[in-house]
Amino acid sequence: MSNKSLFTLIAGAVLALVAWNSFYIVAQTERAVLLQFGKVSESDVQPGLHMKIPYVNQVRKFDGRLLTLDAPTQRFLTLEKKAVMVDAFAKWRVANADQYYTATSGMKQVADERLARRLEAGLRDQFGKRTLHEVVSGQRDELMANITSSLDRLARRELGIEIIDVRVKSIDLPREVNRSVFERMSSERAREAREHRAKGKELAEGIRADADRQRRVLLAEAYREAEEIRGDGDARSTAVYADAFGQDADFYAFYRSLQAYRDSFSSKSDVLVLTPDSEFFRFMQQK
């Protein structure tokens, strides 16, 4: 190969390399800035094919999609100075490519670290304004909305980042207080159980007292009815006896004496001490 051919080949390769480095592509999912000697010359390069000056311009591309910051579990104090362990995350994306590059050098790790510190400060501030009940159930949605709004304003101003949403995944008690909380819950349940048992005993006593009262009433009414029936029977019996006495007084006296003899001598151990001329034996003395 001649020197001319070699020079032509080298020149073509150099031109191809320069041409290759003169073009760059920004995808739809990317944000980019164009640098000139390390300084930003174009702050927000639109998606598509673009030209640059080789070795003079540089292109820095960033992920323009929705990104997630999964913050580590942090310990915060509520308004009543109760400690809680909070696990939260944030959804964010690049809003200002120039400011994002200036603040973080285009590194997601740096952005996550700075955003995590601001998220921690925001959570500590919001939890410090509310009680444990409010952060767990009462005002949890309001708490997340306030953190999202305040963190978004701060991140836009300092990092060029847009905060889409902040969510609290879980709120737990620290391990060292789990035992005391469990014991308190157990004592509360025991107290409620005692109250229910006391109410049950009170209700049972009332039911027993009412049942006893009804039993007494039923017995009294039954005794009254029995006495009335017995009195009516005695009255009828007396009427029958009186009618019989009226029809034949001697026979009635004789019949009543026989009944007296039978009742008196029904047992062998019965003993009567009477004179022979006693009225009791007057029917036996007749000849």
**For the segment 218-273, what is each residue's pLDDT rounded down to a tens digit?**
998 898 889 889 888 888 887 777 777 777 666 777 777 767 767 666 666 666 66
- Co-location of 72 and 163 in the same domain: yes
> Long-range contacts of range 69-73, CB-CB < 8 Å, 24 or more positions apart?
69/112, 69/115, 69/116, 69/119, 71/116, 71/119, 71/120, 72/116
Count the Cβ atoms, other than its own, within 10 Å of residue 5: 9
Mean pLDDT of 88-110: 89
Do residues 39 and 132 share a domain? no
Q: What is the maximum alpha-carbon separation in the chain?
A: 190
Cα angle value 167/168/174 (rounded, 5°): 165
In a domain, 224, yes or no: no
Query: 265 or 197, which is more confident?
Result: 197
Does residue 30 share a domain with residue 81?
Answer: no
Q: pTM of this prediction?
A: 0.55
**71: confidence class by pLDDT, cuts 50, 70, 90:** confident
Return the pLDDT at 4: 63
Q: Would you say residue 143 lies in a domain?
A: yes
* 12 to 4, 5, 9, 56: CA distances (angstroms): 12, 10, 5, 21
Residue 258's domain spans which residues? 253-287
SS3 77: strand
Contact between residue 106 and residue 119 where contact means Cβ atoms under 8 Å apart: no
Query: CB of 245 within 8 A of CB of 252?
Result: yes
Structural domain contains residue 13: yes
What is the model's pLDDT at position 256? 72
Go through the chain and tell me how many residues it has: 287
pLDDT at 27: 87
Number of neighbours of residue 25 by Cβ within 10 angstroms: 12
In-domain check, residue 73? yes
Q: What is the CA radius of gyration of the chain?
A: 55
Which of 173, 203, 220 is where one domain is finished? 173
CA distances from 142 to 90, 134, 149, 155, 173 (A): 16, 10, 11, 20, 21
d(CA 184, CA 190): 10
Same domain, 54 and 99: no
Rounded to whole angstroms, what are the CA distances from 188 to 82, 83, 182, 191, 194? Answer: 19, 21, 10, 5, 10
Residues 82 and 140 in one domain: yes
Query: Are residues 78 and 155 both part of a single domain?
Result: yes
Q: In this structure, are 130 and 47 located in the same domain?
A: no
Q: Which residue has the higher pLDDT, 137 or 204?
A: 204
Residue 22 pLDDT class (50, 70, 90 cuts): confident
CB environment 187-196: b (16+ within 10 A), e (fewer): eeeeeeeeee
